């Protein structure tokens, strides 16, 4: 006897039936909220291209993180905006640098908040690239390239400074070959064997980073980052990057951006023996905000739909500027 045609609708007709049979669930524990910390006191500087996001001084950062923690968000990711920049990003690995001071203040005020420190040089270099610049040969004698191996020493130094300042996890994002191994070795040498590394393993050279570069004041002053970030059409390359970072000691691997790379996220999640993170990046956030401000989209509904899609594609951890909004929506 054939089944009636309406059989698929039986578990959709009642709200509780839909809730009870839902396959993919979001929880506040999987959210990481990014913050931008800057010099000064009492500062909340709005980022024009990211409505609702501000550059915060250390004191206001502590206040905002306390609100997030009260809402059930247990982890934050910090990016620094230094007072001065130079060719080697020295403020990034200074024990008195902006992120190190922010970590110390947060650890003292909110000891149960999980602190993740982004490890890169782009916010701290006067040229805006993620490593040391030297003469290059890729396009002629006058070109400049990011030098991989000399950069590793500085990334490792930066990671140690952040760990000693109070970071619970470090997150290298420079896409230098061997960065996880260099950081793992440096941490272990300092007796920090238990501190985990979340690697931006598959970080693409994406156009979705524009608002972030305004927020972090990290736009390259020449060229672009295609020479070290991944080419968007490639998937097998992402799996190789993940495999290499796992060999080097990554405890979590990340796919960035999220929305245009859900297929990559699914492939990584299917093969990864460690938790997988996805970064719902600034451009994805700003697009939705802009459309919602014009009344073109239902913002709350789309926030949850997007985050659910990222979770459904395989993310165990979601880094998102929508963290507070989603937490509030999950509370009903």
Q: Scanning the structure block, which residue is given the tokens 């451009």? A: 283
Whether 256 is a known active-site residue: answer yes
Give the confidence band of 17 by pLDDT, cuts at 50, 70, 90: confident
Give the confidence band of 2 by pLDDT, cuts at 50, 70, 90: low
Of the candidates 211, 207, 216, the one whose C-alpha atom is nearest the C-alpha of residue 260 is 207
pLDDT at 93: 93
pTM: 0.93
CB 185 within 8 A of CB 210: no
The rounded distance, in Å, linking the Cα atoms of 280 and 190 is 33
Share of the chain above pLDDT 70, in %: 94
| Chain segment 286-304, per-residue pLDDT in tens | 999 999 999 999 999 999 9
Q: What is the mean pLDDT of the chain?
A: 92
Angle at 304 (CA atoms; ends 302, 309), nearest 5 degrees: 95
Share of the chain above pLDDT 90, in %: 76
Average pLDDT over residues 75-96: 93
Tell me the CATH class for 13-330: alpha beta
* Max mean pLDDT range (19-23, 144-148, 171-175): 171-175
CB 310 within 8 A of CB 263: no
The rounded distance, in Å, linking the Cα atoms of 212 and 248 is 28
Q: Catalytic residue among 85, 157, 203, 289, which?
A: 203
pLDDT above 50: residue 147:
yes
pLDDT above 60: residue 134:
yes
Average pLDDT over residues 323-329: 97
Radius of gyration of the chain (CA): 21
> Of 192-206, 210-224, 318-332, which gets the smallest average pLDDT?
210-224
pLDDT at 235: 97
pLDDT at 139: 47
| Residue 180 falls in which region: left (phi positive, over 0), alpha (psi -120 to 50) or beta | alpha
Measured in whole angstroms, how far is the alpha carbon of residue 317 from the centre of its chain?
10
pLDDT at 226: 80
Cβ neighbours of 249 (radius 10 Å) = 16
Kindly state the helix (H) or strand (E) to which residue 324 belongs, with its residue range.
helix 323-330
> Of 104-108, 141-145, 271-275, which gets the smallest average pLDDT?
141-145
Give the confidence band of 133 by pLDDT, cuts at 50, 70, 90: confident
Token couple for 274:
């460690």
CB 216 within 8 A of CB 79: yes
Average pLDDT over residues 161-186: 96
pLDDT above 50: residue 140:
no
pLDDT above 90: residue 16:
no
Q: Catalytic residue among 85, 157, 256, 289, which?
A: 256
The rounded distance, in Å, linking the Cα atoms of 315 and 308 is 10
pLDDT at 141: 43
- Structural domain boundaries of the chain? 13-330
């Amino acid at each position: 006897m054939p089944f009636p045609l309406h059989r698929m609708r039986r578990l959709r007709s009642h709200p509780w039936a839909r809730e009870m049979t839902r396959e993919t669930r979001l929880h506040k524990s999987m959210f990481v909220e990014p913050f931008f910390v800057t010099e000064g006191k009492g500062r909340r500087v709005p980022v024009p291209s990211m409505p609702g996001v501000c550059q915060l001084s250390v004191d206001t950062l502590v206040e905002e993180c306390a609100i997030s923690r009260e809402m059930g968000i247990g982890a934050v990711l910090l990016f620094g905006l230094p007072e001065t920049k130079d060719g080697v990003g020295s403020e990034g690995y200074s024990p008195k640098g902006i992120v190190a001071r922010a970590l110390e203040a947060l650890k003292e005020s909110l000891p149960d908040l999980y602190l993740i420190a982004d490890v890169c040089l782009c916010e701290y270099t006067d040229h805006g690239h993620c490593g040391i610049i030297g003469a290059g040969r890729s396009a002629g004698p006058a070109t400049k390239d990011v030098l991989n191996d000399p950069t590793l020493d500085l990334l490792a130094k930066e990671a140690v400074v952040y760990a000693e300042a109070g970071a619970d996890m470090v997150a290298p994002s420079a896409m230098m070959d061997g960065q996880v191994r260099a950081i793992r070795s440096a941490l272990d040498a300092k007796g920090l064997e238990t501190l985990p590394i979340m690697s931006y393993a598959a970080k693409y050279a994406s156009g979705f980073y524009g608002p972030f570069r305004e927020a972090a004041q990290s736009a390259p002053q020449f060229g672009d980052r295609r020479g070290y970030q991944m080419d968007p059409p490639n998937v097998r390359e992402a799996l190789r990057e993940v495999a290499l970072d796992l060999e080097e000691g990554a405890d979590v691997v990340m796919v960035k951006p999220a929305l245009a790379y859900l297929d990559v996220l699914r492939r990584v999640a299917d093969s990864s023996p460690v938790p997988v993170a996805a970064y719902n990046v600034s451009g994805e956030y700003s697009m939705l905000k802009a459309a919602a401000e014009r009344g073109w989209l239902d913002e709350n509904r789309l926030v949850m739909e997007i985050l659910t899609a990222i979770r459904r594609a395989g993310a165990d951890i979601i880094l998102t500027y929508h963290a507070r909004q989603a937490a509030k929506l999950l509370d009903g």
